[in-house]
């Protein structure tokens, strides 16, 4: 069973967004972009580099460049349990 996004964030994962620039196979002068997002571990980024390896092995469009950012949404010390909820109309 896959872990929820909250569980991943508590384990140290952060949201990694990559903008991938690649050339069209038939039109080498045309650059396209592809946006990829996944929860990944910094600084090694195993999922991002795995996806780039997959791209180079299986997709015909050669990579031009990759620009990415990584953001930890919460840290283990920032999370707290809430016991109750109060709703106000």
Are the CB atoms for 47 and 38 separated by under 8 Å?
yes
Residue 72 CB partners (closer than 8 Å, separation 6+):
9, 12, 13, 14, 42
Q: In this structure, what are the phi and psi dihedrals at residue 68, rounded to the nearest 5 degrees?
A: -140, 160
* pTM (2 d.p.): 0.75
Show the DSSP H helices in the chain as ranges.
Answer: 5-10, 46-58
CA distance 89 to 9: 32
Q: How much is the pLDDT for 5?
A: 84
Task: Give residue-wise pLDDT tens across range 27-59.
Answer: 889 999 999 999 999 889 999 999 999 999 999
Average pLDDT taken over every residue of the chain: 86
| pLDDT (tens digit per residue) in 16-25 | 999 999 999 8
65: which strand partners? Answer: 21
Which pLDDT score is estimated for 10?
Answer: 80
């Amino acid at each position: 069973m896959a872990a929820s996004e909250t569980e991943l964030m508590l384990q140290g994962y952060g949201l990694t967004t990559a903008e991938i620039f690649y050339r069209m196979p038939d039109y080498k002068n045309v650059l396209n972009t592809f946006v990829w997002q996944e929860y990944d571990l910094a600084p090694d980024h195993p999922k991002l580099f795995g996806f780039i390896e997959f791209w180079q092995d299986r997709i015909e469009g050669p990579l031009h460049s990759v620009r990415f950012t990584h953001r930890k949404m919460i840290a283990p010390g920032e999370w707290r349990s809430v016991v109750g909820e109060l709703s106000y109309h």
